[in-house]
Structure 1
Amino acid sequence: MDVRRIARHPVTWGAAAVLALALAGALYLFQPWRLFTTVYVAEPVPTAEAAPPAASGDGSVAPVAEPTKSGKPAKPAGPEVVATGKFISHEHATTGTAKVLKLADGRRVLRIENLDTSDGPDLRVWLSDQPVKEGTAGWRVFDDGAWVELGNLKGNKGDANYAIPADADLGELTSVTIWCRRFAVSFGAAALKA
């Protein structure tokens, strides 16, 4: 058997081309180097920016902070914690805390603190109406019902804030997931409780 003859055969070149395409496709889909990458994020707790009083739809004006004895306006209170939950692991080991914060100006923010999960392709932060389930039974449920995407995962370690749309119904959307959109699987999730 002549190795040079086999190497020049069109079938050999065709097989090599198919293998090269399969390898390129697998690298694109799985992005295995992400197992070794870490993206840290350290966003501060959000606050509502000081703004002039605004009239509401009923004509009333939002209250202004009263000055303190020093004559300076009182420092506004921090955001109100509306709901909170601890992450559980799904496809990848995931820990951290999720909090829904209501800012003084009425905006709502999902804050993820002390997140520690794997990096991965196409990771998103979703609010969902699906219950958080332990083990493999909970890996793929979050796209079965209603969900709202809050954006790309900013980092797989640390603290980050995600704006919640004003029309998102937090009475229905009671869980948060780190969702891999490419493979339709949850890396980890937390049930949000008042």
Structure 2
Amino acid sequence: MMKNIILIFSAVIALGVAYWLISPLFITRTVNEEIPFESADVAQDGFGEDSADQQKDAPSQEILQGNFEGRAGHSASGTVKIIEAEGKKYVRFESDFKITNGPDLFVHFGKDGKYAAGALLGALKGNEGSQNYEIPSEMDISNFDEVWVWCRAFSVPFGVCFQC
């Protein structure tokens, strides 16, 4: 009786792990994040109302741009930009971004053809569409020249943008 319980429990765990590893290949997650904007101060006239120069949004400043390439048999394409807005820097994947979905995907910086495990920007939000990843203020982007999408579950790259 105890063997049957252990066998059933093991099968449930194995099925759960298999689903977690395989299901991303059949699921598309599309993201549509806006470009971060910098809001100017709102000028007010003598009556407490906004003047004709109501709140203006200044567009972000593009620092670098590149394109994704697939790695390790995975498909990846689309535009990657490093932008500055609201006094912060971001890695931005544009709306043409597409990558093979997979388990445990994360966005990292890299250098000289190698991803940097310590330069984590966050979990991949979706495998298609525009998305922003804030670069921590203490991270010096001049130390890196690549943006990677890395699968931690299998320790393999899914895509890379060189000279970003």
TM range (shorter): 0.7 to 0.9
Q: Match for residue 27 of structure 1? A: 18
In structure 2, the CA distance between the partners of 1:75 and 1:20, relative to structure 1 (3 Å rule), is closer
Q: C-alpha separation between the residues in 2 aligned to 1:155 and 1:189?
A: 16
Aligned-pair distance for 1:25?
Answer: 7.5
Instruction: List gaps (5 residues or longer) in structure 1.
Output: 1-9, 53-63, 65-69, 132-140
Q: 2:127 aligns with which of 156, 165, 179?
A: 156
Task: Give aligned-pair identity as a percent.
Answer: 32
Q: C-alpha separation between the residues in 2 aligned to 1:174 and 1:101?
A: 14
Q: Match for residue 101 of structure 1? A: 83
- The one-letter amino acid of 1:142's match is Y
Greater percentage in strand = 2
SS at the partner of 1:142?
Answer: strand
Which has the higher mean CA deviation after the structures are superposed, 43-52 or 183-192?
A: 43-52
Q: C-alpha separation between the residues in 2 aligned to 1:79 and 1:22?
A: 46
Q: Match for residue 167 of structure 1? A: 138
RMSD between superposed Cα atoms in Å: 3.0
Contact 2:40 2:56 in 1 (8 A): no
| Stretches of 4+ aligned residues off by more than 4 angstroms | none
**TM-score under structure 1 normalisation?**
0.66
Q: C-alpha separation between the residues in 1 aligned to 2:160 and 2:57?
A: 32
Number of aligned residue pairs? 152
- The one-letter amino acid of 1:186's match is P
**TM-score under structure 2 normalisation?**
0.77
Instruction: List gaps (5 residues or longer) in structure 2.
Output: 44-50
1:60-96 deviations in Å (ceiling 9; x for gaps): xxxx9xxxxx851684531111011100110310001
User: Bigger radius of gyration, 1 or 2?
Assistant: 1
- The one-letter amino acid of 1:151's match is G
Aligned-pair distance for 1:50?
Answer: 3.8
